[in-house]
Amino acid sequence: MAYRDLVLHHFWWKLLSVLLAALMWLTIETAFQKDKFLGETPVVTTSRRIFPAIPVALLTSPSNTNDYTVDPQTVMVELSGTAEQLAKVTERQLHVFVDVSDAGEEKRFRRYIQTQAPGNLRVERPTQAMAVVEREVK
């Protein structure tokens, strides 16, 4: 039997066998890769850190020349995230402010306290949600 006959005799059956073998190999290899990926997925735990006295800043428009006092002057902020991220955060990276840019001629009013944290950290809660802002009369 010639070499040509070894390849071409029952060619379609041989091609089907090779394709089925490749498909089975691909299926098994994909399953192994999936198991390997699931085994390497780390469990990420969430930690919390409390900052006891972060000063509250006032956010005003550039044309506003009024002086304001805010009560409370400091708030406690609780952050959550990974332990590594929380260990790197300093008080200077936290921004707690009250937006008074839309304040008209009101003498005393209430505004929400807003908090911004760096990175993927989540602000769980400031101690107070509202601040009392008073415009000082000159």
In this predicted structure, what is the pLDDT of residue 21? 97
Distances (CA, A) of 13 to 17, 26, 70, 108: 6, 20, 84, 88
In this predicted structure, what is the pLDDT of residue 28? 94
DSSP-derived secondary structure letter, 105? S
Q: Decide if pLDDT at 14 tops 80.
A: yes
| pLDDT, mean of residues 100-106 | 79
| pLDDT, mean of residues 33-48 | 77
Q: Decide if pLDDT at 71 tops 90.
A: no
| pLDDT, mean of residues 51-64 | 87
Rounded CA separation 57/111 (Å)? 12
Phi-psi sector, 111: left (phi>0), alpha (psi -120 to 50), beta: beta
| pLDDT, mean of residues 84-96 | 89
